[in-house]
Every structure is written in structure tokens, then in C-alpha cells.
Amino acid sequence: MGVAAGEQLELRVTPDRYTTVRYAGASGDFNPIHVDEQFALSVGLPGRILHGLWSMAQVARAAATVADGDPLSLVELSVQFRGMGRPEQEIVLSGEVVAVADGLASVKLEARQGDVRLIRNAQAKLRLP
């Protein structure tokens, strides 16, 4: 089954309450705004926030769906970070295949959590199987 320009994609992800702690351990980014609820509140945030790079990784996952979910198919990825994501709230990653040529698919995506756009103008290129 081939991939065609105009094809829509969507991935829904709900980060659990421990996502930021696990990602802090994996990434080495232990900034307290990601792991300490009280600290995050004390600096004016609505609570712990997701790591931006975790959100970007979800965009990469969504993009890879056009290449049968293979993360190794990702050739390029760029994003614009715009909003702060929260654990335990669904994130909708959506996009469209904008071109297919020479075994590569070009995809535009965004990530939203409710009314908050976390990532906009994401662009990915994937090697097709």
C-alpha cells in the first residue's frame, strides 16, 4: 500500500503522571519544572510541564506512521515549540503528507493539547519502505 500526497495522519497520546520523571531520567534534564509539582507552581506554572523534546519525539512518532511506524525512516525533522504541555492530558498529533517523491514522504504536522498548540509548523521527511 502506497503513501500519497494529501493523506491525513493522526496520533493521540496521553502522557501519564510519571512521564516527566521517566523522561528526566532518560534525557538527564532534571529541571524542577518537569519533576517537582510544588516548584513548578511556585514559579507561576500551572504545575509540572512536559519536556519540549518529549513532545517533539511524539511528533516524530506520528510522522513515522506514514512509513509503517518505523522510527529509522525519519530523515529530517524540524519543529516550532509554542506551548507548554501537561501530564495526564491527551495530546493530538495531526498532519498531512504534502509530497511523495524519490522514495521520500514530506509531512507537515502539529501537536495540540486541548486548545493549546504545543508544536506548530513541524516538517518531517521519511524514507518509505
pTM of the model: 0.94
Whole domain around residue 25: which residue ranges?
Answer: 8-127
User: How many domains are there within the chain?
Assistant: 1
pLDDT digits (tens, 9 = 90+) for 85-126: 999 999 999 999 999 999 999 999 999 999 999 999 999 999
Residue 123 is assigned to a structural domain of this protein: yes
- Looking at residue 2, its pLDDT comes to 87
CATH number at residue 26: 3.10.129.10
> What pLDDT digit, counting tens, does each position of 1-45 carry?
589 999 999 999 999 999 999 999 999 999 999 999 999 999 999
3 part of a folded domain: no
Share of the chain above pLDDT 90, in %: 98
What three-state secondary structure class fits 113?
A: strand
Beta pairing class for 116-127 and 104-113: antiparallel
pLDDT at 68 over 70: yes
Cell numbers that stand for 25 in this block: 531520567
- Is 1 part of a structural domain of the chain? no
Distance of CA 34 to the CA centre of its chain: 16
